[in-house]
């Protein structure tokens, strides 16, 4: 209901280039360029300036984008309230999520919605957390299930989003079956301080999480190898290249000669899984129902765990 061109401007404000905006919104670069030019013409404001080979927002542009946050939230609020007041059904619902954990929550959600609301077309997009937020801004999706840094508070209070914690997914240690500690039930990170570690490349979400886990207990791990997929990491561990951290929700096929150990001690690293929606939309009946379903799934997962580490 808010003009598409303003939405596009907001996406541009997030990613900085026309090309990225186009990719994110699903338009072509030409279309984005034209939209922004048209927006400036209609509003009679100069929002963009040439900057090197790209463009950047002017002060007016930044001002407008910043102020539009409350406008969007207000609209989402109104829409949600109207839907609730009128007991109406919406026709399209976009979900975003990343990683196996999110998938384990999103899949039952999509299935449940399909049964309770047959004529609602549910669309699921797999995307990493950062992109999920972009997709929310771009209004391509309405709800995202993402893994957040447990310590990271930067996105926590973003005026554009509202987030609800679903569950904390603890990290386990995986070591080769022939490792001296393989017969143990639990270990501490200190005990593995001198091991060669396997993690993802610096800059990734998981890497930050990895580092945070060790700094919490005052250990500096020696990073020996890098892997992107869980499967790869597990294979590395199985080959005896080192040890790694694996989220509880990531499945570990028994075939590969790797064992999984719980972490004890004061630092219990975990990744936090949260649901994020555009601010204001949280009162929508559809969002409410979805959050309920997600919470049920989350609780079922929690219930299946030993009571000492929830």
Partner DNA sequence: ATCAATCATGCACCTATTGTGCACGGTTAT
Partner DNA sequence: ATAACCGTGCACAATAGGTGCATGATTGAT
Query: Which residues of the shown chain bind its own copies in the complex (CB under 8 A)?
Result: 1-3, 6, 41-46, 58-60, 63-64, 67-68, 70-71, 74-75, 78-79, 81-83, 85-86, 88-91
Task: Tell me how far, at minimum, the Cβ of 22 lies from DNA, in Å.
Answer: 7
Task: Tell me how far, at minimum, the Cβ of 273 lies from its own copies, in Å.
Answer: 29
Q: Enumerate the H helices of 87-204 as residue ranges.
A: 99-116, 129-137
**227 phi-psi bin (left φ>0, alpha ψ -120 to 50, beta other):** beta
Residue 275 contact among DNA, its own copies, none, beta carbon within 5 to 8 Å by kind: none
Residue 203 contact among DNA, its own copies, none, beta carbon within 5 to 8 Å by kind: none
**Cα angle 156-158-163, degrees, rounded to a multiple of 5:** 50
Task: Tell me how far, at minimum, the Cβ of 85 lies from its own copies, in Å.
Answer: 5
Please give the residue ranges that form the binding site for DNA (CB under 7 A).
4, 16-20, 26-31, 33-38, 48, 50, 52-55
Residue 35 vs 199, nearer CB to DNA = 35
Parallel, antiparallel or unpaired: strands 143-148 and 270-278: antiparallel
Residue 75 vs 296, nearer CB to its own copies = 75
Task: Tell me how far, at minimum, the Cβ of 89 lies from its own copies, in Å.
Answer: 6
Task: Tell me how far, at minimum, the Cβ of 1 lies from its own copies, in Å.
Answer: 5
Residue 92 vs 253, nearer CB to DNA = 92
Residue 231 contact among DNA, its own copies, none, beta carbon within 5 to 8 Å by kind: none
Residue 255 contact among DNA, its own copies, none, beta carbon within 5 to 8 Å by kind: none
Residue 114 vs 266, nearer CB to its own copies = 114
Can you list the pairs that 225-230 forms with residues at least 24 positions away whose Cβ atoms lie under 8 Å? 225/196, 225/197, 225/198, 226/198, 226/199, 226/200, 226/201, 227/198, 227/199, 227/200, 228/200, 228/201, 228/204, 230/100
Task: Tell me how far, at minimum, the Cβ of 30 lies from DNA, in Å.
Answer: 3
Q: What gap in Å lies between CA 31 and CA 245, rounded to an integer?
A: 44
Residue 82 vs 239, nearer CB to its own copies = 82
Q: What are phi and psi of 185, to 5 degrees?
A: -85, -45
Q: What DSSP element (H or E) covers 187?
A: strand 186-187
Q: What gap in Å lies between CA 152 and CA 45, rounded to an integer?
A: 36
Residue 78 contact among DNA, its own copies, none, beta carbon within 5 to 8 Å by kind: its own copies
Residue 29 contact among DNA, its own copies, none, beta carbon within 5 to 8 Å by kind: DNA
Q: What gap in Å lies between CA 72 and CA 7, rounded to an integer?
A: 9
Task: Tell me how far, at minimum, the Cβ of 37 lies from DNA, in Å.
Answer: 6
3-state secondary structure of 98: coil
Q: What gap in Å lies between CA 305 and CA 289, rounded to an integer?
A: 25
């Amino acid at each position: 209901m808010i003009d598409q061109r303003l939405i596009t401007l907001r996406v541009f404000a997030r990613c900085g280039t026309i090309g990225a905006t186009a990719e994110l919104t699903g338009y072509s670069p030409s279309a984005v360029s034209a939209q922004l030019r048209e927006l400036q013409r209609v509003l009679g404001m100069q929002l963009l300036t040439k900057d090197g080979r790209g463009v950047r927002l002017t002060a007016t542009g930044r001002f407008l984008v910043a102020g539009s946050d409350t406008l969007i939230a207000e609209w989402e609020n109104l829409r949600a309230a109207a839907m609730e007041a009128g007991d109406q059904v919406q026709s399209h619902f976009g979900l975003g999520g990343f990683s196996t954990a999110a998938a384990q929550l999103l899949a039952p959600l999509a299935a449940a919605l399909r049964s309770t609301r047959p004529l609602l077309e549910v669309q699921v997009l797999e995307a990493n957390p950062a992109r999920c937020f972009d997709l929310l801004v771009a209004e391509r999706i309405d709800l995202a299930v993402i893994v957040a840094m447990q310590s990271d508070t930067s996105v926590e209070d973003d005026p554009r989003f509202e987030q609800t914690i679903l569950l904390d997914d603890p990290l386990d240690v995986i070591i080769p079956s022939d490792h001296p500690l393989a017969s143990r039930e639990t270990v501490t990170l200190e005990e593995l301080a001198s091991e060669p570690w396997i993690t993802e490349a610096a800059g990734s979400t998981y890497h930050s999480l990895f580092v945070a886990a060790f700094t919490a207990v005052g250990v500096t791990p020696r990073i020996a190898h890098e892997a992107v997929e869980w499967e790869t990491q597990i294979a590395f561990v199985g080959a005896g290249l080192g040890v790694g951290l694996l989220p509880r929700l990531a499945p570990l096929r028994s075939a590969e000669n790797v064992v999984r150990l719980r972490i004890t001690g004061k630092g219990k690293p975990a990744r936090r899984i949260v649901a994020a929606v555009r601010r204001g939309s949280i009162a929508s009946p559809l969002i409410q129902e979805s959050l309920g379903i997600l919470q049920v799934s989350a609780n079922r997962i929690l219930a299946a765990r030993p009571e000492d580490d929830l």
